[in-house]
Amino acid sequence: MRPIVHIITMGLQNFVRNAWLSLITLTIIILGLLMVNMIISADYFKSSIVESLKNRVDFPIYFRQAVTEAEVAEVVKDLQNLPEVKEVQVRSPEDNLNTFSSNFPDLSQDILPALDGNPFYFSLIVKTEKLENYEAIVNHLTQAAYAEKIEAKDTTVYKDAANRVTEFTDKFNFFALIFAAFFLLVAIIVVFNTIRISIFTHKEEIGIMKLVGATNWYVRAPFLIEAILYSFVGVLISALIIYPLLLVSHQSLQSFFGEINVDLLAYYARNFWQFFILQFVGICLLNLISTALAIRKYLRV
């Protein structure tokens, strides 16, 4: 137990003793972690927006005038057998007329009385499990035997909306990933040099320890503890920066996205330990590798 306490104490002393170097090292690590969290946030926004589009988009299929209710039921049955289809709603000519009258009351009062009967026909509203599945449904309807019964079908607007969201977030993630990799690379270099300076100040002490029979592990351990401290404190401070920012920006984000269900604060709260542990383990591995390389030459006496 005593050697372990001594190792931990030496690691803490090295961390505190090099205050300015520790501050610079932690700053670089924190900047890298903030960029990583920006990527996580952007991916969450993309998923939330696409999910909202998927739930809100109604892909309409309009039938020709001569199509009967029985023929519409046949199409519905066929669509429901497709794995891409989540739900199919049938809208009668009366339903479509009522919807038009509700959405355009002035226009319906001016036009509908002059028409001979109901100008609307049967239609379907199709929902899928994934937004990109609409194109597969369109292709199926085009090739099906009843394709001539369908007046119109178009998913371009939905596909374009999803593509724009995905394209923007993918570009953002790409550049954020470059910045994160840059800061993490700089962090590794800074940790490497910080540990080397710390080792250099203990050069004589390490030599004496080796001469009296200390193992490589015993010599290396305090510096590994120091690297772990950099990792833990860096992740902890980045979390202490991120969560107040999320609290302050929560209402603004809710207002900006409107009816789209975006709650980044709740997302981070649900996954706090997962994010904390994964980021700590990731940065810790990088720092430990850097430390092991830095101390390697000093283990030869």
> Where are the domains positioned within the chain?
2-53+161-299, 58-155
What was the pLDDT predicted at 277?
92
Please state the separation of Cα 273 from the chain's center in Å.
Answer: 16
- The Cα–Cα gap between 102 and 123 comes to 17
What was the pLDDT predicted at 237?
92
Q: What are phi and psi of 263, to 5 degrees?
A: -135, 85
What value, to the nearest 5°, has the Cα angle with vertex 50 and ends 46 and 56?
145
pTM for this predicted structure? 0.64
**CATH value of 58-155 in 3.40.30.10, 3.30.499.10, 3.60.15.10, 3.30.70.3040:** 3.30.70.3040
Report how far apart, in Å, the C-alpha atoms of 74 and of each of 89, 205, 206, 243, 270 are: 13, 86, 83, 54, 45
What was the pLDDT predicted at 301?
47
- The Cα–Cα gap between 35 and 18 comes to 26
Mean pLDDT, consecutive 10-residue segments, the chain of 301 residues?
A: 67 70 81 83 78 67 81 84 83 83 75 73 79 73 71 58 67 74 75 72 67 70 82 90 87 73 85 91 84 69 47
- The Cα–Cα gap between 177 and 185 comes to 12
